[in-house]
Amino acid sequence: MRGLKAVIAEDEPLLRAELRDTLLRLWPELVISAEAEDGIQALQALAEHVPDILFLDIQMPGLSGLDVAKQASGRCHVAFVTAYDQYAVAAFEQGAVDYVMKPFSAARLATTITRLKDKISSAPANLEGLLDRLAEIAGTRKEYLRWVTASQGNDLRLITVEEIVYFQADAKYTMVVTATQESLIRRTIKQLLEELDPQMFWQIHRGTLVNVNAIAGVVRDGGDRLRVKLKRRAETLAVSEPYYHLFRQM
C-alpha cells in the first residue's frame, strides 16, 4: 500500500481540508499529490500526477465532476464525494469504487478506505455506464441544498439543513439560526428559495424562511397577526398575511 497517490477534487475549501486531514490520519501511507478546487484543475492534476485514486466531487464549477470522471474512467480508482443521496446511491449500485457523503464522518471515510484498499490491486473500473446514469439523474431531478458554509466570527461552520431552524435576511447577508447559534451567509433569501426543498422550508415573510420541522405552532399577537412558535428557540417569527394560508391546518 505504500506509495499510492491520490488527488482530491472538491470546491469547498473547508471540506477539502477536512477530507485531506482525515485521509492522512486514517491512511498515513497515502500520498496526496494534488488538490483541485474546480473541474479544470482536477483534469490538470489527473494528467500531471497520474494518481491511483481520485476523490471527486460531483458538483464543481468549471467542469463538473461527471466531466472529470469521463477522463478518469479506467485510469484510476474513483471515490465520489457528493452531497446528494441519489448520486451516491446510483454510484454504489452501479459498482463504482465507493462514495463519501457530505458532510462526511471519519467512520464513513474509514469504510471507503477499506474498500479502496481491497480494490487497488485490480484495474480501475470503466465508469461509462455509471456516468450515463448519473447524468440522467442530474437532468431529471431537482437537487436541493443539504448544507451551508457560514461565518461565525473568524471561523467557518458547516451547517446541515436539518440543524437550521430558520433563515432571516440581515442587510447584505442572511442570518442562519440553529437551536444554539447564529451565523451569517452571503446567499440571499431569493437564492435560498431556489436552492432549498420547499417541503422543508417555508417562506413566512419577505425576509424569513423557517424549517417546517422546527415549528411548534402559531399564535396570534395583540394585533391579531400570526406569529410562529419554535420548538428550540424562545423567539417567535412574524408571518406576513400572504403566507397565512400555510397555517390553515394548524
Domains and CATH numbers, the chain: 5-140 (3.40.50.2300), 147-247 (2.40.50.1020)
What kind and span of H or E run contains 129? Answer: helix 128-140
Site of grid cell 412558535: 229
Amino acid making up residue 224: D
**Could you read off the pLDDT tens digit of each residue along the chain, which spans 250 residues?**
457 999 999 988 888 999 999 999 999 999 999 999 989 999 999 999 999 999 999 888 778 888 898 899 989 999 988 877 766 676 676 666 688 888 788 898 999 999 999 999 889 888 888 888 777 776 655 668 888 888 777 777 788 899 999 999 988 899 999 999 999 998 899 999 988 988 899 999 999 999 999 999 999 887 778 999 999 999 999 999 999 988 875 5
- Residues 6 or more apart whose CB falls under 8 angstroms from that of 206 comprise 169, 189, 240
What residues are paired with 147 via a beta bridge?
160
What grid cell was written down for 200? Answer: 422543508
Exposed e or buried b for every residue in 123-158, given b needs 16+ CB within 10 A? ebbebeebbebbeebbeeeebbbbbbbbeeeeeebe
Confidence (pTM): 0.61
Residue 114, phi then psi, degrees to nearest 5: -60, -45
* Backbone dihedral region for residue 95 (phi beyond 0: left; psi -120 to 50: alpha; all else: beta): left
According to the model, what pLDDT value does residue 24 have? 93
CA 203/CA 240 separation, integer angstroms: 9
Pair 99, 87: CB distance under 8 Å: yes
At residue 89, the 3 state secondary structure works out as: helix
Who contacts 246 (Cβ-Cβ below 8 Å, separation ≥6)? 202, 204, 239
